[in-house]
Structure 1
Amino acid sequence: MEKGGGTLSEIYQSAKKLLLRTRDGLERLERLEYSSGIDSPDLSMSIRNDLSQIQSLCADMDRLWRSVAAKSQRDLWKRKVEQVAEEAESLKGSLDQYSFRNQRRMNEARERAELLGRANGDSSHVIRVFDEEAQALQSVRSSSRVLQEATSVGEAILSKYAGQREHLKRAQRKALDVLNTVGLSNSVLKLIERRHRVDQWIKYAGMILTVIIVFFFWRWTR
């Protein structure tokens, strides 16, 4: 720790340096608290020691400023010493508040640990119940997945059968078209054959009629 010098000015400068270091250390301590909730006992102890040193220096300065001959200088040093003492007291109050918060966190953590310790006897039962529920839920999910797969397979089979049915319908329609076409062709062939036979009969009848006419003409001319 820093020691004060022999003169009032030297002691004052030492106190100001300690105040600056104390303020910086307290800010770092609070940043640790708010960022991660971690305590730094070494830093807390160092700040408390610096504050004790500042208070000791303030006592020395309070004794020395009274011996200043000039009243104006004496009043000036009085205000300076009071400012240092007030700032040191303010920093000490902030450190005490930090210590109180830290102690409260430690108490709460200890109480939580005790509660967890008392509940530890029932924890195995709770965990077992949770495991059974998790297994039941997993079984339900597995059954649902199997059912979905079976449904998908059934839908695929039905879709395949539907496709085959449409294919058979198209084939049936083509077959009917072919049969209809064949039936029409047979009708046309029969009509042609019938016409051919009629033409034959007409030809033969014409030939016979011609022979008869020629015969009668020949008889008539004789």
Structure 2
Amino acid sequence: MDSGAGGSGTLSEIYQSARRLLLRARDGLARLEHLVSSSSSSSSSSSSFSSSSSSVNDLALAVKRDVTQIQSLCAEMDRLWRSIPSKPQRDLWKRKVEQLAEEVESLNESVSKHLVRQQKRMQEAKERTDLLESANGESSHILRIFDDEAQAMQSARNSSIMLEEAYATGVAVLSKYADQRDRLKRAQRKALDVLNTVGLSNSVLKLIERRHRVDKWIAYTGMVATVVVVYLFWRWTH
């Protein structure tokens, strides 16, 4: 006897509806497995991966809805077959409903595994994206450090060149002062010789000597000032 209760249809009608839903759910699971396999084997861009993930999720949820509906029909059939008077018919429908329930449960486990794997793949893709963004940010930071160090080294080289030029200028100035001092000494000796020859007084000779000392102090002062200027310039550039 195949009759059932209420307006839900007979037990046979409910069973046929459940079988059609099961076939559709199996077909959806097969397409889901093919889509997951295709998206896993291809190295697509992030936008393609996002589109593929969306398709996988939509298909998995559609299969889940069919599974839930079949489980609801199984619960309804489980209630109906118990009311069948004939024991052979009752046992037959019991086996059919239990077999259908086992197939649905197996299908439900497969879909759940696919959803878990898909969630894991999405998490891994997000971690890779975050890692790449972090690496790019770190690379930019390292490049900025290299640029700063390069600029600092160039500034140090420029300062060294300026210091060498200043030192060379100071040496040249000191050399000129030394030459002038030698010329002054030679001129003094010649003058003394001339004065001694013409018999000038000692007071004139003392005046010339004082002038020589003054000139010597001027030369020394100039050399010291030049050294101080070179040292201060070196400290300023460093």
TM bucket normalised to smaller: 0.5 to 0.7
The equivalent residue for 1:170 is none
Return the offset for 1:123. Answer: 2.9
Aligned sequence identity (%): 63
Unaligned regions of 5+ residues in structure 1, if any? Answer: 129-222
> Which of the numbers 13, 17, 20 marks the counterpart of 1:17?
20
The equivalent residue for 2:127 is 111
Structure 2 residue matching 1:111: 3-state secondary structure? helix
CA distance in 1, matches of 2:58, 2:114: 14
1:1-222 pair list within 5 angstroms? 5-37=8-40, 38-39=52-53, 40=55, 41-124=57-140
Q: Which structure has more RCO (C-alpha within 8 Å, separation ≥ 6)?
A: 2
CA distance in 2, matches of 1:6, 1:28: 31
Name which one, 1 or 2, has greater alpha-carbon Rg: 1
CA distance in 2, matches of 1:68, 1:127: 81
CA distance in 1, matches of 2:143, 2:93: 70
CA distance in 2, matches of 1:12, 1:113: 48
Return the offset for 1:124. Answer: 4.0
- 1:44 corresponds to which letter in structure 2? A
Deviations 1:20-77 (A, max 9, x none): 0000000000100001233322212211111110000000000000011110110000
For the structure 1 residues 127 and 15, does the alpha-carbon distance in structure 2 shift closer, same or farther, using more than 3 Å as the test? farther
15-24 or 40-49: bigger deviation:
40-49
For the structure 1 residues 98 and 76, does the alpha-carbon distance in structure 2 shift closer, same or farther, using more than 3 Å as the test? same
Return the offset for 1:82. Answer: 0.3
- 2:29 corresponds to which letter in structure 1? L
Return the offset for 1:127. Answer: 8.5
* TM-score, with length taken from structure 1: 0.53
CA distance in 2, matches of 1:127, 1:35: 39
35-44 or 102-111: bigger deviation:
35-44
Structure 2 residue matching 1:13: 3-state secondary structure? helix
* TM-score, with length taken from structure 2: 0.50
Structure 1 residue matching 2:9: 3-state secondary structure? coil
Deviations 1:165-208 (A, max 9, x none): xxxxxxxxxxxxxxxxxxxxxxxxxxxxxxxxxxxxxxxxxxxx
Return the offset for 1:118. Answer: 1.4
Return the offset for 1:5. Answer: 4.5
Unaligned regions of 5+ residues in structure 2, if any? Answer: 1-6, 41-51, 145-238
- 2:12 corresponds to which letter in structure 1? S
Paired residues, number: 125
